[in-house]
Structure formats: C-alpha cells, structure tokens
Structure 1
Amino acid sequence: MNWDYPNAFTLPRVPQAADIDGLNHTNNAVYVRWCEQIGWAHSESLGLGLEDYRRMDRAMAIRRGEYDYILPTVEHEELLLATWLVGGDGKLSMERRFQLVRNSDGATVLRGRWDLVCIELASGKPRRMPQEFLDAYMPVITSRR
C-alpha cells in the first residue's frame, strides 16, 4: 500500500448493505465510525483502553475532526483503513491521521485527521497527559509531512 506515513496500524473494512446510503455508496457517517473504531483499536494495542482512561480520569478527546471524502466505495468492496499519531506536544495535545485505501487498485478513498486534547473525565477540562499516556503514545508519534 502507498501509505501517507510509515508504520501504519491497519484494520480491514468491507461495507455491508446497512452501510450503503441512498446514493448507493458507503455513507460518510460509516467512515467516521470506522475511524473511531480504529482509533480505539490502535490505542488498545498500545496498552491504553477505556478502562485505563477511566482509572486515570483522563482521556484523549476529539477537539476537531476533518475528513476528505475522495472517492466513493460500494457494498462488499474490500478496504484497508490505517491510522497514525503524527504530532504531539507531550503535554496536552496530539493529532491522529487516517487513510482508507481500496484494496483492488490501491486508491486512497478517504483521508482524515483528529486534533486531540487530553481532558479530565470528571470535569471535561483540559489537563496534562499523565505519564502512562506519554509512555504509550509518544514512542509511536510519526513526524508530519
């Protein structure tokens, strides 16, 4: 695959009938859901899941999400979704990027990004990342292009 960044964390995806909208392609909301799913899967692979967030009373929350819908996809089309952490200040914020590729021809069909901020779950207010976040996330940060 021609990934935007090295060391992609990937998940295969195949749109099903329920994912298809009135225009006969995968609904944009499905892509957003898939990005959430791979974001959690990547975080869990690094050792931080929802229970860890609750235990520490900290979470990486989406401050801004942006999606570029480049090409449509259709039911039963094999796709591969990738994600990376591509920026972080080591204190409060990080950026997560996404790329969705069609397996049949390697075409990128979606790119996305999230600006993430560390919050205290109890108050919803921004807080510094705990050391456990830094230990898990910072070693996999990829530099921006």
Structure 2
Amino acid sequence: MPLTHTRTFRVRHYECDAYGHLNNATYLRYMQETAFDASAAAGFGLERYRALGRLWVIHETEIEYRRPLAYNDEVAVTTWVADFGRVRSRRLYEFRRAGTGDLAARAATDWAFLDARSGRPAPIPPELTAAFFPEGAPPPARRDPFPAPPPPPPGVFRVRRRVEWRDVDAAGHVNNANYLAYVGEAGFDVCAAAGWTEARMAAANLGILARRHRLEYRRQAVFGDELEIATWAYALRPASGMRHYAITRVADGEPVARVNTQYVWVDRTTLRPIRIPAEFVHALAANTVAESGGAT
C-alpha cells in the first residue's frame, strides 16, 4: 500500500470567487502544498531534492469538482502516489469536507522527475520509490493521451496577456495553478465579447461552473512573456459543454499549455443545472463546433 498524507485547509475569504465558492485555481494550490508535505513526510523534502540536484514538475493535471466549498469551510486533502514510471509519477488526491466527509473534489497529477541543472528527465532512484511504497510499487499504469479537441470553428476567440511577477513561483516560472486563472478569465472574456457579460448573466440568475479540467503543461512561461489564449467551445449538451484553451507564447509561437474544461450551466440560487438559454447558444454560435465538425 502507498503512503497516504492528509492536510487540512480552512478556506479563506480572499480564496473565494464572485460566486462565493473556493476559486478553481486554489484547489491546485492546495494539491501542491499537500504533495510537498507528503514528500517531506516520506523523507524527501525540498532540501533533499536540492542536494540530489533533482526536482519535480507537473506535466498534467486532472480535477473534477463535486461540491463547492465556501468561506470558512474546512477541507481535508488526502494524497497518495499511484505509481512510478522511469521518469514520471502519478499522484492522486481527494478533497473531503471536514466533519461530514463529503467528497468535494478529486484530482490527479502526473509529475516529471528532472535534472535541476539541465531540465531534462532523470531516472527516479529506487530509494525514492521505496520511500513511498514500503511494500513494493505497482507497475506503472497506462496513461491516456490528452484528448484532442475538434478543429476550431471560424470564430476562434483570442486574447493576450503578459506574465506578471505575481504569477511566477519560486521555481522561476508561471505556477501551474495560474493557468486555470488565465483560462477562467478568457472564458469570461469570450462570453462578454458575445454580449453575455457577467452583469447580464447575474441579471438572468445564470451561472456557469467548471465541472472538470484537464491541463497539459508543455513549456515554461516566465515573467514578462506575452501569452495568447485561443479558445473555442464544442460538445454542447442541453446543460453543459466543453471548451478548449490553447496557450502559446507570442514571441516564438511555441505551445505553453492546453486545457479542456467541462462547464455546467446552473441556476445561481439553487446551483441546479439548467438548460443553456437559446440566446446564449446563438450568441456564441460562431465560437462553437457542432458534433458534425461545423460551427453550430
């Protein structure tokens, strides 16, 4: 059995979004902190990795939100390593509301083990594997490739932003959680550009909540980089839909990250799913791919 580790967080007011819920990106920050604690508890804290000349970086993240968390809620984040490959490891997470045990979210990250100097993949040493699997590690599980979205429609929405100092973490590049903040803003921007501002959605008692994200980090972005986020919708259903985000570096056109997000339309008061308004579907038709591959 793998070692498990649990850390409890109390949701702070500034971590909540305008819906009053714990911001999507903050779940990823809780995951990272809990993973660091879990590694240290197994004898591999940051100082030991520095001595080895090695580091972990996140290659891919998946998260599914089950029940929203709000200010002052306590949430227990439990994490464990699912497997080790030659240079990669998969770590799983559960978010449970303290007191009730209700599942608030579940997630997984694929971490890549790198040489700190060269930035190239490095073999995971046996002693590290043994620290997390005292009784022996299972064989590596098969990874499903990142699901490719359908080709973009004519009305691809594009927005640019520059990496700010606050976006960069101690590793010197944009923190993985901030990419969710980037695409979240782009999602509101595309709606506003189609006439559905936040004020209009609030007046209609309409909310759009993320149900799940899948992120793949492809290259590092650093302070001062200008990024372009291209986005389009697809797989529209009566009360839900998918949106793809492709993030590239403007200077050289290199891909930095890509994200697939499932959104659910809800009544803001009850948080129950509702049918997407026909006016909304029409307004974003040029930005939406139909099942047949054409724009809706």
Report the counterpart of residue 52 of structure 2 in structure 1: 56
TM-score, scaled to structure 1: 0.85
CA gap of 1:37–1:75, structure 2 versus 1, over 3 A, is same
Q: Aligned partners of 2:120, 2:78: CA distance in 1, in Å?
A: 29
Max radius of gyration: which structure? Answer: 2
Structure 1 segments unaligned to the other structure (5+ residues): none
Helix, strand or coil for the counterpart of 1:139? coil
Does 2:101 correspond to 1:106? yes
Compute the displacement of 1:21 (Å).
Answer: 1.0
Compute the displacement of 1:30 (Å).
Answer: 1.2
Report the counterpart of residue 14 of structure 1 in structure 2: 10
Match of 2:19 among 3, 23, 27: 23
Compute the displacement of 1:142 (Å).
Answer: 7.2
TM-score, scaled to structure 2: 0.44
Does 2:142 correspond to 1:120? no
Helix, strand or coil for the counterpart of 1:64? strand
CA gap of 1:12–1:22, structure 2 versus 1, over 3 A, is same
Does 2:68 correspond to 1:72? yes
Compute the displacement of 1:55 (Å).
Answer: 1.1
Compute the displacement of 1:137 (Å).
Answer: 2.8
Equivalent pair of 2:113/2:123 in contact (CA under 8 Å): yes
Q: Aligned partners of 2:125, 2:116: CA distance in 1, in Å?
A: 13
Report the counterpart of residue 226 of structure 2 in structure 1: none
CA RMSD across the alignment: 2.2
Equivalent pair of 1:11/1:38 in contact (CA under 8 Å): yes
Structure 2 segments unaligned to the other structure (5+ residues): 142-296
Q: Aligned partners of 1:52, 1:6: CA distance in 2, in Å?
A: 20
How many correspondences in the alignment? 139
Compute the displacement of 1:109 (Å).
Answer: 0.7
Equivalent pair of 2:73/2:97 in contact (CA under 8 Å): yes
Paired letter, 1:103: A
Helix, strand or coil for the counterpart of 1:35? helix
1:81-126 per-position Cα deviation (integer Å, ceiling 9, x unaligned): 100101113x222110010001243211111101112110111111
1:34-62 per-position Cα deviation (integer Å, ceiling 9, x unaligned): 00000000000001111111111112221
Equivalent pair of 2:81/2:91 in contact (CA under 8 Å): yes
1:7-31 per-position Cα deviation (integer Å, ceiling 9, x unaligned): 6311111101111111111111111
Identity rate of aligned residues, in percent?
A: 26
Equivalent pair of 1:85/1:142 in contact (CA under 8 Å): no
